Amino acid sequence: MPAAAPAHLDALHDLDVVLPVRREAPWLLATHAAALATALPRRWHGGAIVVCDGARPATARAAHDALAAHHAVAHRTLLRVPRGIGAAGAADLGLAEATGELVALFDARTRPEPHALELLVTALDADEGTLWAAPPAPGAAVVRREAFLALGAFDPRLPARDAIRDAADRARREGWRLAVVPEAAFRVTAGARRAGPRFARRPPGRWDGASLERWLLAHRRHAVREDVA
């Protein structure tokens, strides 16, 4: 009788992955997809969701091809948003599309080394009071999907860095812990910055789960969903 898979590998099969893209070079998307494939189990059957945030045609094609090249038994989805909504909004759409208990969020510039995702998932499994686990490198995190959405996820009115900081502040106010896992190794591609829409100063008013629900109602209908065979 074959040995049972380690618990953290079972959790990886239940992990979904969300990647917003906009103007990334095709080689960057292909490199990220290949690295992600080595960080997940061979027959990973979670959900892989790429959100094309007002992406140029070349980027959208490259995103489709990179998604189709890996994870043959996973649920692979491409969401196309015709007008740019920013990385925070694109991540929110991906989180709303996901179904896994845990979701790994990526910037295409940040690539996981083998076992990096296992370490982040293990950190969450070890402490139910931790909302997200991230490496020291920027551009990647694993979050508890339902709890993060209930908190409001990312405020799409903000640029990406501000949205991350704001989400962290809201999480701490609600009593959640945020873990940094130094052993989780990721590589960051320098000089490949993500261009996005410009944002005005932060609008007045708090952001929470109800705010996110209203925003999703207004924006999900504009997203074109494609299941990648």
Q: DSSP code of 113?
A: P
The pLDDT of 6-27, averaged and rounded, is 85
On the CB side of 69, CA atoms within 13 Å amount to 16
And the tokens for 73? 């038994």
Q: DSSP code of 115?
A: T
**What's the per-residue H, E or C state across 169-223?**
HHHHHCCCEEEECCCCCEEECCCCCCCCCCCCCCCCCCCCHHHHHHHHHHHHHHC
The pLDDT of 178-184, averaged and rounded, is 98
Report helix, strand or coil for 144. strand
Question: Phi, psi at residue 145, to the nearest 5°?
Answer: -60, -55
Residue-wise burial string across 41-75, b where 16 or more C-beta atoms lie within 10 A, e elsewhere: beebebbbbbbbbbbeeebbebbbebbeebbeebb
**What was the pLDDT predicted at 5?**
44
Report helix, strand or coil for 85. coil
| CA separation for the pair 93, 2 (Å, rounded) | 39
**What was the pLDDT predicted at 199?**
52
Residue 193 located in a structural domain: no
And the tokens for 213? 């629900």
Residue 94 located in a structural domain: yes
| CA separation for the pair 224, 209 (Å, rounded) | 24
The pLDDT of 83-98, averaged and rounded, is 96
CATH number of the domain at 111, please. Answer: 3.90.550.10
Q: Which one-letter amino acid corresponds to residue 195?
A: A
Residue 197 located in a structural domain: no
Residue 141 located in a structural domain: yes
Is a pLDDT exceeding 80 seen at residue 82? Answer: yes
Residue 28 located in a structural domain: yes
Residue 200 located in a structural domain: no
Residue numbers of the domain that contains 173 = 7-188+206-224
Residue 42 located in a structural domain: yes
Residue-wise pLDDT for 117-137, tens only, equals 999 999 999 999 999 999 999
**What was the pLDDT predicted at 37?**
96
pTM equals 0.91
Residue 194 located in a structural domain: no
**What total number of domains does the chain contain?**
1
Q: What mean pLDDT, rounded, does the chain reach?
A: 91
Report helix, strand or coil for 227. strand
Place 190 in a pLDDT band, splitting at 50, 70 and 90: confident
C-alpha distances in Å from residue 67, one per residue of 118, 157, 163: 21, 28, 26
